[in-house]
Amino acid sequence: MPNTQDQLSASSLQAEPKHADSNAPVGVFDSGIGGLSVLKHLREHLPHEDFLYVADTAFAPYGERSNEELIERSMKITEFFLQQKIKALVIACNTATAAAVAELRTRYPNLIIIGMEPGIKPAAARSASKIVGVLATRSTLQSEKFHRLSQQLSQETQTQFIPQACVGLVNQIERGDLQAPAIFDLLRQYVPPLLDQGVDTLVLGCTHYPFVEQQIREVIREHQANQTKPIHIIDTGDAVARRLADLLEKQGLLNTDALSSKIFQAWTTGDSRTLQMAIGFISSAQEQISAQTLHL
């Protein structure tokens, strides 16, 4: 008897688009609201595209899940998107990318799949001190993907990468109060030790972290006091958007119809209130977008 994963794979492969339509939507997912920071860049770079977003809040945070669980969740969400006839998939989560992107690309070879890179390559190019701090989840920092890339770039650029697992930060951001004292307490715990080691560039290695970029800058100013040394912050959402635009254009799937009304739909597997609030981060006042509940 075939197991659940085999059945899932078979049904997904049947649904996978072999000749996608340029008018088809793009699917984007994350464990929660973090991926909206990436979706903001996607909508800015690709204003004529339709986007579907899934926040897998019921299984957040992904950083506390095993690779097997992350692959299973990624597969289920991808199958849901394929039922919506997507032409491309963006894994707007560093942790899910590290765990599942290779498996997804193997199982869906005809689908454009974009994952998150940790941003350490542009950070190495930007850093004058050649000391870069990487803020990310423990799972991302422990992944083979991160270790391989950081070691390679360290040798090529003579850059020291100092990883900092930000335990608890995703959970606090998901609560929706970005000015909560608990967020500042965590940032004061994680950011100053990196600055004390000579870091002049910080990588936001989780898509949730751009939501608190201003809070990070505040903690930096607080720690530096009267110092004027600039600290660069790297957010890879812009690079992901440019990469997707390039792949869509190369495959003839770029939607250039400026006259059609654009669609943005959002689902969550958990409580819709936080997602509904966070949607305001990437939508205009004229847009009426409701977060729907998804049982997956």
Share of the chain above pLDDT 70, in %: 92
Q: Which element (helix H / strand E) includes 43?
A: helix 36-45
How far is residue 258's CA from residue 233's CA, in Å, rounded to a whole number? 33
What number is the average pLDDT over the span 265-282?
Answer: 89
Q: 170: which 2 tokens?
A: 């995703």
How far is residue 27's CA from residue 50's CA, in Å, rounded to a whole number? 9
Residue 280 — pLDDT band, cuts 50, 70, 90? confident
pLDDT greater than 60 at residue 135: yes
Determine how β-strand 112-114 pairs with β-strand 88-91.
Answer: parallel
pLDDT greater than 50 at residue 3: no
Residue 285 — pLDDT band, cuts 50, 70, 90? low
pLDDT (tens digit, 9 = 90+) per residue, 236-251? 999 999 999 999 999 9
> Residue 30, annotated ligand binder?
yes
Q: By the 8 A CB rule, do 274 and 175 touch?
A: yes
> Residue 31, annotated ligand binder?
yes
CA atoms within 13 A on the CB side of 291: 22
> Residue 94, annotated ligand binder?
yes
Catalytic residue (one of 20, 54, 75, 93) = 93
Beta partners for residue 123, in sequence order: none
Find the distance separating the first CA and the last CA of the chain, reported in whole Å: 23
pLDDT number for residue 263: 82
Catalytic residue (one of 20, 55, 60, 206) = 206
Q: By the 8 A CB rule, do 232 and 126 touch?
A: yes
> Residue 190, annotated ligand binder?
no
Local structure of 100: helix, strand or coil: helix
pLDDT (tens digit, 9 = 90+) per residue, 160-196? 999 999 999 999 999 989 999 999 999 999 999 999 9
Task: Check if 166 is active-site.
Answer: no
What rounded mean pLDDT belongs to the chain?
Answer: 90
Residue 283's nearest CA partner among 263, 268, 256 is: 263
Domains of the chain: 4-116+237-293 (3.40.50.1860), 120-234 (3.40.50.1860)
pLDDT number for residue 84: 96
> Residue 256, annotated ligand binder?
no
pLDDT number for residue 4: 39
pLDDT number for residue 290: 82
Task: Check if 206 is active-site.
Answer: yes
> Residue 208, annotated ligand binder?
yes
Q: By the 8 A CB rule, do 161 and 140 touch?
A: no
Angular region, 65: left φ>0, alpha ψ -120 to 50, beta rest:
beta
Distances (CA, A) of 67 to 62, 94, 188: 9, 13, 30
pLDDT (tens digit, 9 = 90+) per residue, 36-82? 999 999 999 999 999 999 999 999 999 889 999 999 999 999 999 99
pLDDT number for residue 68: 96
